[in-house]
């Protein structure tokens, strides 16, 4: 899968092109013809589809969904901690928390030991709704991981660790909100 900016139009025959687009496309992407890169591109594209649909079901935007995912996996966080995880400013994080609170997905609670801090806590009913939709995905991937040999698991883990590093470096190099 490639975006239009990765492709250049090289033909004009309207009958050509498997995707129904007139003409041929020449693509200069390093993923073309590399099955592993193509699978990673598919995972990325399907992740965006799932995020969009899940956001719609829960009545939140993509950033709100990401915040809910962090709260689901890590538990209550301060708005600052949430901003760091989302790679947004603290001001943007405050707006995200306000929207999630208004939608009934989170509550604010005083920090147990530091009265200056407020924790953002997921509402259990919202987490139940979230997991009702993503449990099949999580269990399916967990099954695949469990079926790997220890050596294969180490290789996949090392590969994905490097993929995450590259993604994080790229995310951090782009302007924030």
pLDDT tens-place string over residues 112-167? 999 899 999 999 999 999 999 999 999 999 999 999 999 999 999 999 999 999 99
Domains and CATH numbers, the chain: 60-134 (1.10.10.10)
CB-neighbour burial class of residue 10 (10 A; exposed 0-12, middle 13-18, buried 19+): exposed
Determine the 3-state secondary structure of 98 from DSSP. Answer: helix
| Average pLDDT score over residue span 44-51 | 94
CA distance 117 to 95: 17
Tracing tokens 């939608």 back to the chain, one arrives at 103
Which pLDDT does position 115 carry in this prediction?
A: 86
Contact 76, 120 (CB under 8 A): yes
Strands 106-110 and 118-122, bridge-based pairing = antiparallel
């Amino acid at each position: 899968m490639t975006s239009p900016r990765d492709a250049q139009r090289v033909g004009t025959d309207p009958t050509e092109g498997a995707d129904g687009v007139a003409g041929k496309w020449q693509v200069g992407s390093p993923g073309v013809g590399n099955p592993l890169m193509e699978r990673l591109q598919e995972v990325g594209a399907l992740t965006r589809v799932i995020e969009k649909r899940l956001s719609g079901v829960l009545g939140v935007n993509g950033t709100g969904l990401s915040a809910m995912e962090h709260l689901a996996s890590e538990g209550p966080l301060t708005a600052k901690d949430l901003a760091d995880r989302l790679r947004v400013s603290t001001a943007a994080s405050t707006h995200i928390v306000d929207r999630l609170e208004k939608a009934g997905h989170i509550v604010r609670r005083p920090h147990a030991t530091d009265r200056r801090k407020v924790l953002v806590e997921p509402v259990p009913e919202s987490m139940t709704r979230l997991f009702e939709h993503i449990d099949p995905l999580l269990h399916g991937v967990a099954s695949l991981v469990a079926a790997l040999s220890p050596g294969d698991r180490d290789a996949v883990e090392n590969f994905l660790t490097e993929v995450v590093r590259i993604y994080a470096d790229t995310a951090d190099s782009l302007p924030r909100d």
